[in-house]
Amino acid sequence: MDLSMNPFSSGTRLRDMIRAIRASKTAAEERAVVRRECAAIRAAISGNDQDYRHRNMAKLMFIHMLGYPTHFGQMECLKLIAAAGFPEKRIGYLGLTLLLDERQEVLMLVTNSLKQDLNHSNQFIVGLALCALGNICSAEMARDLAPEVERLLQTRDPNTKKKAALCSIRIVRKVPDLAENFMGSAASLLKEKHHGVLLSAVQLCTELCKASIEALEYLRKRCVEGLVRILRDVSNSSYAPEYDIAGITDPFLHIQVLRLMRTLGQGDADCSEYVNDILAQVATKTESNKNAGNAILYECVETIMGIEATSGLRVLAINILGRFLSNRDNNIRYVALNMLMKAMSVDTQAVQRHRSTILECVKDADVSIRKRALELVYLLVNDTNVKPLTKELVDYLEVSDEDFKEDLTAKICLIVEKFSQDKLWYLDQMFKVLSLSGNFVKDDVWHALIVLISNASELQGYSVRSLYKALQACGAQESLVRVSVWCIGEYGEMLVNNISMLDVEEPITVTESDAVDAVELALKRYSVDVTTRAMCLVALLKLSSRFPPTSERIQEIVVQNKGNTVLELQQRSIEFNSIIQRHQSIKSSLLERMPVLDEASYLVKRATSSQASVSLNKSAPAATPGGSLKLPNGVAKPPPAPLADLLDLSSDDTPASTSAPTAAPNNFLHDLLGIDLTDSSSTGGAPSASTDILMDLLSIGSSPVQNGPPTTSTVISPGQVTKHASATPQVFDLLDGLAPSSPLPDEQTAYPPITAFQSATLKITFNFKKQPGKPQETTMHVSFTNLTSATLTDFMFQAAVPKFIQLRLDPASSSTLPASGKGSVTQSLSVTNNQHGQKPIAMRIRISYKVNGEDRLEQGQISNFPAGL
């Protein structure tokens, strides 16, 4: 209706106000126009101006849609609804649905008007009331007006029936207890011929089934036959212009009937058997060259999968999904993949027939389809098809996009680990993955690979030769480099001498110098990655024992890192140089191959670590002092005794003892160094728990002072330096005896660094410096290292100290912490202990950061500061 031609309209018309608002060049001009109009409307409301009420409500609705407050006009809606004429009621009900919702108390005042209009003789006014009630009905209104709506379901006018059925859906949702009132009426509506009534009736029946078990059982008995008749009539009907869409008669009714059949047939064998024939008819007769036909077919497939259908019908449904995968429309292919994933739990063999088509979807240009197809392929893998499927995925890995390689690599690794029965095949596949996408391989995967190589003695030669060749061809893959240098360090003589050759291998010529060249190149290429460089240094140290002629050259390479700014690399370089230069007699025993790693124990610990990482995503707990440390081979174990860790001979599942040493015929120190442990206790008695075990065993120096400041001894592990506090006040080299008894003046203020905090995500190291003559002041240099494969952003470190300590924090070097230890963030702290000598320094820390946009928080307490700070 054109409001400008309405007899109530005079003065400023609605279209004039809209033009004025659209002509506004700024938001301020628009607000001014709205203010003027709202002021005029308020004046008309205050003056009870009935002539302009109709038009003013139309203006208020437009202003409301612009986002301005219009609550002052709510009562005008009620006055218009109470009017006698249809035009006023139409605007009143429209304003009611726009300006109010079911939470408004004003709505209670309109219940009586709605009841009167539902009983009105004019079907159009009844329709207005039903539309309004279906949009804003509250629970109280539903209870009051349900009888009127139920009565209207029996009227002759199809439009009124349709609106009453839709209004009933709202009432049942608000008050499920009223469902039983509508069951009989809903079932009778399914006998109507008008498609609008049928569509509304089917939706009402679906809602009743969700609301009440009694309604579900009632409709199963009364409605299934009617639904089959409706679906058959619609499917077989001739061309009907009123309902035709792309050559298909009323696809909306098709889909709603199929959904109701799925609801009724779920868990009911009799009902499912009754609808099997019509479902097969719809699945075979519906054309799939139009989008409307595809929608019906998809809904038909979902219904077949949801009910107790026969196996033949399920195969037919899965074949339809297979045809969908060949469709050019990305949306159709995506929903087909989703549905096939659900079908895996129903009929795996039928899905397997479309394996080649699903594999082609993995190579699709659309990233969503690729990821969904990859998940489906993972579900399709079994013991019989694992090798051809893996070959297809590995071949595609070589040409896949960089963005997709991470997901593809993870799935291939999972498939190989889960289904491999042949160790040689497992190694070949993992070596291919490392060569093609080693930068995307997660740490626990290559840790597991090292554990398997350690246990497969017959394949160690094959592994080191294969990895050496891969390293020469693909040296830019980080995980490949780590596994390769580890194997070269452990099994270098097998590489050079072609030991344990397999029939499938061809001999290769590798000299001792070539093996050292490979590790040296990796050391130079990965100048930023601390873990890789540390593993290269360990490999070089072991090669110096395996290949004595290269010892001098290796020493030159190791010495180059003596001035490295990374403390761990610097320390490794100095200690390894000392081993090569001064301890030739014990070097071969010290650098023997690592003992075989316990594969079963590692798998248990890996599963435990995975569960812990899941809980870490929810809330990152602080690391407890003395907690387990994650070693490069993936084995997490409690810190063993200093000597046991030094030689790395303690078993993963047998904790090293930290008690006083006793004589034992099979003691590893006695075996390696030839030192009788019984002599040490006879000279000075049994040492206490705080006495350093190594000093006592080697009888170096005098008995340590029990109450002196602790020092830190460094122990060597293939992938990590772990520090253990010793109660001796003297600093000594573990392999080279005591340092000078009188330290130099500048050494008196030096304190060993400590690992103050370590979790699965972060490692925090403190270095200390004091100025002579100012014992109460300490400068702490804090280094933060990211242990995960994801970059940490918005990084912030906070610290709190007791009242007797003054703390000053300097800004951090960066707010972004690179992944996998490729660089660190540093920050300086100035601490003044006003009760120096009386109370030690204590500190609580909190670290916040983001991982992939998700906020994380870790916190802990530091109480292991060196004495004397």
Per the CB < 8 A criterion, the answer to whether 271 and 277 are in contact is no
CA distances from residue 765 to 455, 528, 749, 783, 786 in whole angstroms, order as listed: 35, 18, 18, 5, 12
Encode pLDDT of 50-75 as tens digits: 777 888 888 899 999 999 998 888 88
Q: What is the mean pLDDT of residues 314-324?
A: 93
Nearest by Cα to 580 from 603, 551, 556, 601: 551
Encode pLDDT of 113-167 as tens digits: 899 999 999 999 999 999 999 998 889 989 999 999 999 999 999 999 999 999 9
DSSP of 199-231, one letter per residue? HHHHHHHHHHHHH-HHHHHHHHHHTHHHHHHHH
Encode pLDDT of 210-245 as tens digits: 999 999 999 998 899 999 999 999 888 877 788 888
Q: What is the mean pLDDT of the chain?
A: 80
Q: What is the mean pLDDT of residues 529-551?
A: 90
Alpha helices, DSSP H, located in 353-442? 355-362, 367-380, 386-397, 402-419, 423-437
Per the CB < 8 A criterion, the answer to whether 436 and 397 are in contact is yes
Residue 19 contacts by C-beta under 8 Å, 6 or more apart in sequence?
none
Encode pLDDT of 817-826 as tens digits: 898 888 889 9
HEC profile of 20-73: HHHCCCCHHHHHHHHHHHHHHHHHHHHCCCCCCHHHHHHHHHHHHHCCCCCHHH
CA distances from residue 524 to 500, 537, 541, 766 in whole angstroms, order as listed: 31, 11, 16, 27
Q: What are phi and psi of 462, to 5 degrees?
A: -60, -40
Q: What is the pLDDT of residue 749?
A: 54
Residue 102 has pLDDT above 80, yes or no: no
Q: What is the pLDDT of residue 613?
A: 54
Amino acid type, 782: V
Encode pLDDT of 438-460 as tens digits: 899 999 899 999 999 999 889 99
Per the CB < 8 A criterion, the answer to whether 185 and 226 are in contact is no
Per the CB < 8 A criterion, the answer to whether 396 and 360 are in contact is no
Helix then strand then coil, in percent of the chain rounded to 5, is 60, 10, 30
Q: What is the mean pLDDT of residues 558-565?
A: 88
Nearest by Cα to 703 from 733, 681, 677: 681
Encode pLDDT of 76-100 as tens digits: 888 888 888 888 889 888 988 888 8
